[in-house]
Amino acid sequence: MPAALDKPAFSFFNTPFPSVSRISIAQRSAGIAKDVSMPLTTVFHASLYGTICLAGFILGRAEGNFIPYLTILVAMVGYMLTEHYKKWMVTVPVANALGLVAFLVAAIEFTVGDREGKLLAGAHLVVYLNWIVLLQKKTNRQYWAMAALSLLQVAVASVLTNDSWYGGMLVLYSVVAMWSLAIFSLHQANQQFESGRREPVARTPLAGSSLSITTASVIMPSETWSTIRHDGSARWVTPRFILGVMTIASMSLMLSGVFFTLVPRVWIGPRLSLGDEADGPVGSLGRNTMTGFTSQVKLGSLGEILENSTPVLQVRLFDSETDREIDVNQYCERLGYAEPLFRGIVLSRYESSQWLADVVFSSQDPLPRILAEPAVRQEYVLEPVGTDLLFVIGDVRACDLDGSERRRVVKHTTTSVLTRDSVGRSGSAERIGYTAYSAPMPAVVQPFAIMPVSSRLWQEYLSRNYLEDLLILNDDVAAIRPIVERILEEKTRQVGSKLTPVQQAVALESWLRDSGNFKYTLKQARVDLTVDPVIDFLINRKEGHCEYFNTALALMLRAAGIPSRLVSGFKGGDTNPLNGRFEVQQRHAHVWVEAFLTEPNGKFFWGTFDATPVAERNTELETIGGKMTFWQAMSSEISMFWSRYVVNVTLNDQEQGVYGPLRDWVASLGGQLKDRTGGIQSLLYGLFSILASPKEWLTVGGMLRLLIILVLFTGLLYVLKYGIKLSLKGFSKYSQKRKVERKVVEFYERFQKVIAQAGLKRDEAQTQREFALQVTHKLSQRLHDESVLKLPEELTELFYKVRFGDDVVDAATAQSLDDRLDRLESLLDTNRQRHHASKV
């Protein structure tokens, strides 16, 4: 490099900075960085370890096992040992050995477990590996591994549960994870900053510079570390940073929701097989299925079901001709039911204290999808019940399933049980909707509920000896016969004539339900284990719940020569105040009796009887769940929404709820935009009409319109914010601010030119504040005017406030700056002339 460029021809600032000043300021800078990095590290650790604990909690609740919950304890211990005290940590060889042990344990779980155990083996392997990483010495690689393993735990949890709580936890995890990653990025930047401070990159003066900057000639040098320059006095985590992360998280969730809604639900290929098909589909896994609705009901098994308040189904009734909604309780009362009865499975054989369905089902008749004649339309939403049964009120004549597979509903001839056919994949683990059509509402209340028997059905009974099977009474319950004879003899004396089959059935029902000799209870107990539970109930215990009362009634009817069968389903329910649907919960599980009887005109029918004490049962149900509160209704609605629109959404649902309405809306939008006479007004009215229909907010179309309204509202707020801001300040004041801002920038540029003439230029790596400190130090060695010595720092601060803030400089301050710059330029010219004269 030429000598002329190595040393400037003239330099007013020719006195080097004292080395002690550099050491002092460097130490102060290091101290500032330390003070800032410690809180940042703490925030980072709290965020990441909190994410790990949240993932462990989600997996633990989904699995229902304690192993994932231990992640919370291991995370706390790992943080204290490896991050806080740094006393002990797992070395790499030990970690490798523990990893092999983890794989071995998971392999054993996979080999000896059932289908659910195979799936949980993979989940536990992720947990074990996470524990190992938590106890290791942490570098960025370990931090990334912790984040990835936590994500895997949340992903596995999605396979283990379909409950709505997982949706809330997933949203929370997403926000916490994005926050942790943002803090992680700051943590990495701080690491680079600290690394660069310890090993600064050497820098050479710029070519053509009139100032040679050496190690001892910079009061507070700025260095470049991997393209990152940090102001030591600045904070890492600021309110603006927090707001930015939350905004990004919100927008990410909204965008992911849009993608989730629009991606077609098309399943290609067979489902995953783990080599153990006997255990059933993954979706069931033994969780969230209803017990009691299988082909058998054992005495004592219903007690656990009744104590569960989980929603099972929702129903609304409509007149098929007028589309007028019908109250469920009123319709059932007109049919002769004391409470709504939702018929499920029919059980006809009683053996060894349990009821079983027929070994071979009768013929099956596919039901029409819709009924042309007047009827009551029953619209159902059924939660996963682990069976293909469909629960309905009364005798259904037509039924249609919602969904893309279009599976037919079949009616079993002898039992009138409704099931989905076997075509297509099993839907027992899915939430479904279906519409059933039953008889119109009777004009008057019926004396008791009946189900007519057609001539075709009568022939079916005869060909299968079905009614004879419903009279079978095994020897272990033969003790019922003398009890029945005594009851009917006493009733005959009261009436004074021979009892009809209907009167006999009513008498037996009343003896169990209304005599006061029996009490309703959910407690499971036996007095005499040597006899059948129903005999123990009638003779010794004399208390039980619906299965005891109605098992006794069914067997007593058989002893009286009346064919009878047990029906399992649901009784009662509550109206959801949010959506108006009649909602049934698991606690409403119930069994009742159907007896084959003859009308006076000779027609056959099935009569419905229930020997359970009504008042005592209702009191017990109130104790368990009570009437549906607002929060229970809200929880149920959220659960229904999660199951319907997230877990079990189908391509047909998307076509009906998203693609179709979206196409129609776009077509309508195009037509309205072409219409110049009120098209825009009609468009806005159609868009904002959703605000007046809260029931549509939870629909896919409603959410799309709400999203558009939210975007429009946000944009309007943005425009109004800056519009009001400008109006309050006034256009003239705003213009004045811009002029002053340009003036201040001009002042600073003039300041740089004045200093450059004296031989000092700002390096590209220096901030304006650092350059001001350097100039002030140089000026203090040659000038003694306090006003001039304060000018660099004051001008720099003013430059920051006006250039990057909202401050406005008044005319007096601007004039003062102008005068002081003139003064500085004059002093520098005077000193330059003196220096030149001394050389001459």
User: Can you tell me the mean pLDDT for 18-24?
Assistant: 37
Taking the C-alpha atoms of residue 559 and residue 504, their distance in angstroms, rounded to an integer, is 11
Give the whole-number percent of the chain exceeding pLDDT 90: 22
Summarize pLDDT for 447-482 with one digit per residue, the tens: 888 898 988 889 889 888 899 999 999 888 899 999
Give me the pLDDT at residue 616, please. Answer: 73
What pLDDT sits at residue 122? 85
What does the pLDDT average to over 156-179? 87
- Please, what is the average pLDDT of the chain? 76
pLDDT score recorded for residue 283: 38
CB 400 within 8 A of CB 434: yes
What confidence tier does 504 reach under pLDDT thresholds 50, 70, 90?
very high
Contact between 467 and 461 (Cβ < 8 Å):
yes
Question: What H or E segment, with its residue span, contains residue 458?
Answer: helix 455-464
Residue 406: the pLDDT is 61
- According to the model, what pLDDT value does residue 738 have? 57
Q: pLDDT of 644-702, one tens digit each? A: 677 767 676 677 677 777 777 677 766 666 665 455 556 556 656 655 666 555 555 56
Q: Is the pLDDT of residue 775 over 80?
A: yes
Report phi then psi at 647, rounded to 5. Answer: -75, -50
- Residue-wise pLDDT tens digits, 320-368: 999 999 999 999 999 999 899 999 999 999 988 889 887 555 678 889 9
423-431 mean pLDDT? 54
Q: What is the pTM of this model?
A: 0.56
Contact 561, 472 (CB under 8 A): no
pLDDT digits (tens, 9 = 90+) for 66-90: 889 999 999 999 899 888 888 888 8
Using the 8-state DSSP alphabet, how is residue 655 labeled? I
Q: Locate 743 and state its tokens.
A: 């003036």
**Would you say domain 468-566+590-624 falls under CATH 3.90.260.10?**
yes
- The pLDDT of 156-181, averaged and rounded, is 87
pLDDT tens track for 132-150: 999 998 888 989 999 999 9
For residue 273, pLDDT over 60 is answered with no
Give the C-alpha separation, 326 to 339, whole Å: 15
Q: What is the pLDDT of residue 586?
A: 81
Please answer whether residues 421 and 399 qualify as being in contact, where contact means their C-beta atoms are separated by less than 8 angstroms: no
3-class SS string, 795-816 = HHHHHHHHHHCCCCCCHHHHHH
343 phi and psi angles, rounded to 5 deg: -75, 135
pLDDT at 12 (0 to 100): 44
CA distances from 256 to 212, 250, 259, 261, 599 (A): 55, 10, 5, 8, 63
pLDDT-derived band of residue 291, with 50, 70 and 90 as boundaries?
A: very low
Mean pLDDT of 743-762: 75
- pLDDT band with cut points at 50, 70 and 90 for residue 212: very low
Per-domain boundaries in the chain: 20-194+239-261, 468-566+590-624, 650-728, 731-839
Single out the residue of 583, 694, 570, 590 nearest to residue 629, CA to CA: 583
Other CB atoms within 10 Å distance of the CB of residue 405: 15
Cα(741)–Cα(753) distance, rounded to whole angstroms? 18
Closest by alpha carbon to 454, among 570, 606, 258, 676? 606
Write out the two tokens for 149. Answer: 């393993």
Return d(Cα 2, Cα 785) in angstroms, integer. Answer: 37
